[in-house]
Chain A
Amino acid sequence: MTAQVITVTSGKGGVGKTTAVANLATALAMDGKRVVCIDGDIGLRNLDVVMGLENRIVYDIVDVIEGRCKLKQAMIRDKKYPEMYLIPAAQTRDKNAVSPSDMVRICNDLKSDSDFVIIDSPAGIERGFRNAIAAADRVLVVTNPEVSAVRDADRVVGILEAEEKGNPSLILNRLNPTLVKNNDMLSAEDVLDLLGIQLIGIVPEDENVIIGSNKGAPVVTDAKSRAGQAFRNIAKRLQGQDVPFMDLDSQSGLWSAIQKLTGRK
């Protein structure tokens, strides 16, 4: 096995990186893949609570780097999916405790016995972001259909280009089909045209995301959730499967698809 290392980043904070990592990892685990998630947000550990693993933490990534434990000891096995692990961030205030070469070394050690390593990047374009992209084979940029989030995503895409990190793919999160239909929200087409990168998925605004993180059970485990379906589709695309997008040609494409699903007119 040689894992693919996938980094999820965004520029702007709060757009849904951690949500995406928890959901993509869980969806891949549901498909029988061996997945290791790394929380790269040093000082602002969050992936553990979103995944419901906060009570199991003994060691963190800085303990591994500073030799206080073995890599395996810092890997927390998921309760429900035994093939999924989390390496938590440290809550130390020293962000320089991790370097890009540390990340490359850890990912290389993980590669031989997993299918996917998924790294949750902190917001911004500083050290933590540099660490998170250092080992990436593929980068997913998360944004919301909103001016400041799109602008910051463009900055990040520019840096990834300059660093020759390959072509990033876009996750457009929190799209509100009603607003798009009323021309009061940027559509997926608008955002793709502005950013000029490839799309890997559109995730609608969905209250089940919040309900899921309240419970520590990512929304992909909820078969009826629309956001869950969107993340499950992205996970399939990460495995190389060709899953059709909901109709993107018309601005109301996603909306009408949802209307059909719910039987509303």
Chain B
Amino acid sequence: MNFFTRKKSAASAKERLQLVLVHDRTDLTPAQLEALKDDLLKAISKYIEIDPDAVQIGLERDGREQRLVADIPLRSVTRNRAG
């Protein structure tokens, strides 16, 4: 690998640990998190129209606390009707 373009390994270590620790702490595997997202989207779609591709759901760390953060843009009803 080229010395100048090589991504330094400390950054990979940190990124990988960030992910692993969140899953370790919540005892939730990445696959379970995906299933949770699907269920969540299904439940929300029963009531309001959402754009599944714009949805962002993930686990975030804040010190030693974890939270499930969801950013779910809603489709505008007026625009839907107009269209």
Contacts and interface: CB of A to CB of B under 8 A. Distances in A.
Contacts, number: 46
Nearest to B14: A190
A147 B24 contact: no
Interface stretch (B5-13, B33-41, B47-55, B75-83): B5-13
A183 interface: yes
B11 A154 contact: no
A55 B21 CA distance: 43
B46 interface: no
A161 to B, nearest CB: 7
A155 B24 contact: yes
A194 B8 CA distance: 18
Given A150-B17, A157-B64, A161-B64, A183 B10 contact: yes
A186 B12 CA distance: 9
Contacts of A186: 10, 13-14, 17
Contacts of A190: 10, 13-14
A256 to B, nearest CB: 18
Contacts of B64: 157, 161, 195-197
Nearest to A193: B14
Contacts of B21: 151, 154, 194
Contacts of A147: 13, 16-17, 20
- Chain B interface category by residue count: 10 to 19
Using C-beta atoms within 8 Å of the partner chain, give the interface range for chain A.
Answer: 20 to 34
Contact of B24 (A154, A183, A185, A187): A154
B33 to A, nearest CB: 18
Nearest to A153: B21
B24 A194 contact: no
A182 interface: yes
The CB with the most chain A CB atoms within 10 A, among B9, B11, B18, is that of B9
16 contacts: A146-B13, A147-B17, A151-B17, A157-B64, A158-B25, A161-B64, A180-B10, A182-B8, A184-B8, A184-B9, A186-B17, A187-B10, A190-B10, A190-B14, A194-B18, A194-B21
Interface of A: 146-147, 150-151, 154-155, 157-158, 161, 180, 182-187, 190, 194-197
Given A186-B13, A196-B61, A196-B63, 12 more contacts: A147-B13, A147-B17, A147-B20, A151-B24, A161-B64, A183-B8, A183-B11, A185-B9, A185-B10, A190-B14, A196-B64, A197-B64
